[in-house]
Amino acid sequence: MQPSAPIGVFDSGYGGLTILKELVNALPQYDYLYLGDNARAPYGTRSFETVYQYTLEAVEWFFEQGCELVILACNTASAKALRTIQQKDLANYGPSKRVLGVIRPTAEVIGRFSESGQLGVLATKGTVISESYILEIAHFFPEMAVYQQACPMWVPLIENGAHEGSGADYFVKESLDQLLQQSPAIDTILLACTHYPLLIPKISAILPNHIQLIAQGEIVAQSLAHYLERHPAMEDKCSKKGQIRFCTTDSTADFDEKGAIFFGKSLKSEHILLGH
Ligand code: DGL
């Protein structure tokens, strides 16, 4: 039988497209199904219960579409919903289904980037409060000191297409200053929100030269490649026509226009409803 399962890629909105772009670069042979829950974004300021509920609805939709493997390409959903879905809900959908996040694969390798052992993490308020990065990194790099800073204005600026304007300068500098004030020895900063790569030009312009900036896309892509090597039964189920389908819970015209900036290529989306 021909494999028929695209790999599901989920985000609250557009941010996951920065991850999808790297997945397609590294693993172009697979089919992907992307969903942005734009109608209910941002997730970063919502409660655990709400993010869990929204993410579970999305995961269920991916399974209905025939996905076997779903990647939560959203740090907030990975921090607030992934564990409960894996431990409590997944069994209801059959023994072979899997949901993976972006925090663990990042935590597994992030210690290799820093010489000082002092890492700065920029993320949404939800990811920061969950302390998921602190807990996961302690697992793999117990000596590492992790400093977190929430950047509540960054996702709204990006979702509204205001990230290149001069208005964004103030908020980018404010959050970076707040992070760097926590420790002068930070030599590596992780962009722990999949939206933030769009702010790299602004961040780089004010970041001291000795500090390196890490985005997650390539890390997640490498991790998925290894996962599929280690799980041949899952790999066999993944369809391989190199096709991508884009879906959004909000306006397709907006998604096509803004999504192209995140994905780096033009795209055409379909509208779907969640939670009905
Ligand atoms: N892109 C999501 C993340 O990686 C967050 C955006 C949001 O607040 O919805 O955390």
Question: In terms of C-beta density within 10 A (0-12 exposed, 13-18 middle, 19 or more buried), how is residue 3 classed?
Answer: middle
Quick one: tokens of 23? 């997945």
Tens digit of each residue's pLDDT (9 = 90 or more) over 245-272: 999 999 999 999 999 999 999 999 999 9
Rounded to whole angstroms, the Cα distance separating 133 from 148 reads 9
Rounded to whole angstroms, the Cα distance separating 204 from 211 reads 9
Question: Position of tokens 């302390």?
Answer: 131
What is the pLDDT confidence band of residue 4, given thresholds at 50, 70 and 90?
A: confident
pLDDT of residue 159: 83
Instruction: Enumerate domains of the chain plus CATH numbers.
Output: 7-101+218-271 (3.40.50.1860), 104-215 (3.40.50.1860)
Q: Are 89 and 57 in contact (CB under 8 A)?
A: no
What is the pLDDT confidence band of residue 94, given thresholds at 50, 70 and 90?
A: confident
**So which residues are the catalytic ones?**
74, 193
Residue 70 forms beta bridges with which residues? Answer: 8, 99
| Protein residue with least CA distance to atom 8, ligand 1 | 44
What is the pLDDT confidence band of residue 3, given thresholds at 50, 70 and 90?
A: confident
The mean pLDDT of 175-197, rounded to a whole number, is 97
Among 71, 72, 193, say which to mutate for ligand 1: greatest number of ligand atoms within 8 Å of CB.
Answer: 193
Rounded to whole angstroms, the Cα distance separating 25 from 223 reads 13
pLDDT of residue 95: 87
Name every protein residue with a CB atom under 6 angstroms from any ligand 1 atom: 11-13, 15, 41-44, 74-76, 124, 127, 155, 193-195
Distance 114 CA to ligand 1 centre (A): 24
Distance 124 CA to ligand 1 centre (A): 7
Question: In terms of C-beta density within 10 A (0-12 exposed, 13-18 middle, 19 or more buried), how is residue 22 classed?
Answer: buried
What is the pLDDT confidence band of residue 202, given thresholds at 50, 70 and 90?
A: very high
Distance 15 CA to ligand 1 centre (A): 7
pLDDT of residue 8: 98
* Ligand 1 atom showing the smallest separation from residue 76 Cα: 10
Question: Position of tokens 């379909």?
Answer: 270
- Could you list the beta-strand ranges (E) of 56-179: 69-72, 98-100, 118-123, 145-150
Distance 37 CA to ligand 1 centre (A): 11
The mean pLDDT of 22-29, rounded to a whole number, is 98
What SS3 state is found at 14?
coil
Percent of the chain beyond pLDDT 90? 94
Question: Position of tokens 């404010």?
Answer: 174
State phi, psi for 243 to the nearest 5 degrees.
Answer: -105, 150
Tens digit of each residue's pLDDT (9 = 90 or more) over 33-58: 999 999 999 999 899 999 999 999 99
Residue (of 231, 237, 152, 232) closest to 196 by Cα position: 152
